[in-house]
Amino acid sequence: MSLPHAILTALLEKPSSGLELTRRFDRSIGYFWQATHQQIYRELGKLEEAGHIRALQPAQRSRGQKKEYEVLPAGRAELAAWVGRTEDPKPVRDALLLRMRAAAVVGTGGLEAELRRHLELHRRQLAEYLDIEERHFPPERDSVEDRLRHVVLRGGIDLERFWIQWLTHALEELEGPSGEGG
């Protein structure tokens, strides 16, 4: 049920068209909540039907013009209620972890290369997050809103650091005590 809440959040930050929303998901929200363009457009329709958002009337009507949406009071109330709800953590579902477990049964062929590939991907993601932090969160940006956005980014930074450390350890374990490999 979180995709509609992600969309409401994005629209409260800035009224947007469906295309603008998908671009924003690709650049920011998508770092922690993935959605395809089709899912976003489908959810916009459901939110509009539920009375949580509405399409803004353009100043000048033109053919092929994108609908821009804004959040209605009912949508803001739904989002506020959702923020205050309790929710248990979700179990981790990661194919790499499952593949490592399978490798213990069928052998490690190709596993080391995949672990190294993942390690590099997490290093790149960490570098991107650190760059975003440097560009968008200077010390003078100290409003509650900025601090909350920053703590979300810090969560991503910490997760990337966790994966880098864990993958490094996994590679060391794969090599064995004397570096002989698996």
What does the pLDDT look like over 32-44, one tens digit per residue?
788 888 999 999 9
Specify whether the CB–CB gap between 156 and 32 falls below 8 A. Answer: yes
Residue 68 pairs in a beta bridge with 17
Q: What is the pLDDT of residues 80-124, one digit of tens each?
A: 999 999 999 888 889 999 999 999 999 999 999 999 999 999 999
Helices (H), 14-57: 18-27, 37-49
Separation CA 48–CA 28 (nearest Å): 23
Three-state SS for 17?
Answer: strand
Structure tokens at 93: 């579902």
